[in-house]
Structure 1
């Protein structure tokens, strides 16, 4: 019996090449189809802003494609693995390998090693490109696909509570005393009753308060509207309450998210959801490592038995079950029901054991 980790260098390269090429082909097809459908839905909103044209449409595509690649890469790897293994089984290549004394683990090993390389590239791709694309696109959507603010660090749709009053800023940019608010609304409440609504085009920090400019005040009791050039409001509201109140893990790389978590911990704010997102930045790309194990059920067994299609469906079901469990655990982590590390890693470990059990069962 062949006891090496790989069956042979040539066979390992052959299997890894088939796996990678077919996974990339599936990924390209998914991204093209989904990007086309997405662009059909968003093109009207983009072109609605005066001055936007083909260049802005291509800019949207350049920002959206990295998100689609990152989100659907595990699906593509799952389908690519199923296609590869089912084809090898259908052509009796798996039978030939088994007859030569090659075990199921050795057949899947080149695919697992290739998956580790894909996971490393995916992690770097998400850290360097995807997070920036998501942050830029969210900022662009917040200004209705108009000119974006020059500040690179922005947050969208931020709510802050000041006493009984509620402050909403559609766009927050900058940090510290340089924090700037755009499209601000202040809901002035007294005793739980809404008294007035202040709408301002912009706001900036001034001392320990905020200077709102181009203000319109709507009084609920008499429905009177008053325009005011500037208003001082929110005394004692620290700028960090705007910059830390809406931290999105998808918009920050690993180090930046870790820094935000440290700042929120120092401010005494809950961070369990962000910590789950931090761990998921590692466990998410590693999910492609599971796909060859979960799809391995499609590789073994006689093709002429007529059950190849059922085994392919079973492999696909196992893969999609992982995605459901992963999203469920992450949601429980966001609610605080699961510890952050458990929410990020429990589905990965569970389905790793399931995939290994499938291979061991196959060996028997």
Structure 2
């Protein structure tokens, strides 16, 4: 077996093992809370499996960076502990080449993490909500509570029980001019999505201008097309983390309940966050150059593990600051990845010396 293939296989198997253990732990913790209710609903083992499958994309996002960190640490510990690194370096293999050999395993995790969050989760989240509501015990019907949100410059209040996001009830739209002054209020009992926008049924409207207010009614009005059923699902049925596509639509005039800084930060993090796997590999790499015949090995393992956990804490803290508008979205998304990547690279360069 070629050296590159051996190193890649070693790292990939340990990342896979770490990911399996982390996902199992996260699934167990998640199921501890919901399993009694699943059993009470009579869904049995099939229900537990279905719930776990629909929750899996979100758990992959939580486990991915830690899996690379743990897998990298164990792989480089083995190479250093068995003195295989000594033989590699004697044959001219540098620490940089060693990291390059392991890089495809971390890149695979980056791709899987991105696909889970941006492609799979936006589909499994509504499916989980729909299945959970459909299997709930019969209960007296309750009127849905309206929610207020922004669509471009308009302020909207509406309610829905439609899990597909294609219909709204008790719609009230407050239209504003560029200065934020109210120019029109539209009320409609129902709104239905159709190509080209939302069809408001028998809407009543009141228009405001310098001369006063005028009211009227129409058979139907087509309202904005920027607000899509996917945005309704996100607003009313609680995606844990909105996709980059939903964030982009919110900034372009789609439905938004939060400040623009939240959606702008989410767009930046859709790229920056999956790259955490590469940073974790870089933070684990110095372990390969440690001497495990002394206390140096334990020190390097502790330092790599601590740096990885500090990266996760700093990244989460900056993301929260960016979402609240305290720092710019660009700084919030990229400061921690760039700083910790620089720290890992600096440590590797000094050790390679």
The answer, yes or no, to whether TM exceeds 0.5 is yes
Aligned-partner SS, 1:337: coil
Residue aligning to 1:136: 127
Is the 1:258–1:278 Cα contact (8 Å) retained in structure 2?
A: yes
Where does 1:284-299 land on structure 2 (aligned, <5 Å)? 284-299=273-288
Aligned-partner SS, 1:263: coil
- What is the aligned counterpart of 2:47 among 27, 47, 56? 56
Aligned-partner SS, 2:147: strand
Is the 1:244–1:260 Cα contact (8 Å) retained in structure 2?
A: no
Where does 1:1-364 land on structure 2 (aligned, <5 Å)? 10-49=2-41, 51-141=42-132, 143=133, 145-146=135-136, 159-160=147-148, 169=159, 171=161, 173=163, 178-180=167-169, 204-205=190-191, 206-208=201-203, 243=232, 246=235, 252-264=242-254, 270-364=259-353
Structure 1 Cα separation of the partners of residues 145 and 346 of structure 2: 46
The 3 A distance-change label for structure 1 pair 204 and 344 is same
Is the 1:90–1:303 Cα contact (8 Å) retained in structure 2?
A: yes
Structure 1 Cα separation of the partners of residues 111 and 134 of structure 2: 35
Aligned-partner SS, 1:338: coil
Aligned-partner SS, 1:160: strand
How many aligned positions are there?
A: 294
The 3 A distance-change label for structure 1 pair 170 and 96 is farther
Is the 2:8–2:105 Cα contact (8 Å) retained in structure 1?
A: yes
Instruction: Provide, for residues 79-122 of structure 1, a one-character-per-residue CA deviation record: whole Å limited to 9, x for no partner.
Output: 00000001111001112222222221111111224322331233
**Greater displacement, 86-95 / 60-69:** 60-69
User: Cα distance, 1:249 vs. partner?
Assistant: 7.0
**Greater displacement, 297-306 / 253-262:** 253-262
TM-score by length of 1: 0.70
Is the 2:149–2:257 Cα contact (8 Å) retained in structure 1?
A: no
TM-score by length of 2: 0.72
Structure 1 Cα separation of the partners of residues 9 and 352 of structure 2: 24
Is the 1:264–1:271 Cα contact (8 Å) retained in structure 2?
A: no
Structure 2 Cα separation of the partners of residues 13 and 92 of structure 1: 18
The 3 A distance-change label for structure 1 pair 263 and 42 is same
User: Cα distance, 1:175 vs. partner?
Assistant: 5.3
- Structure 1, unmatched stretches of 5+, are 1-8, 148-155, 185-202, 210-237
- Structure 2, unmatched stretches of 5+, are 138-143, 151-155, 172-188, 192-200, 205-222
Structure 2 Cα separation of the partners of residues 161 and 134 of structure 1: 21
Is the 2:79–2:288 Cα contact (8 Å) retained in structure 1?
A: yes
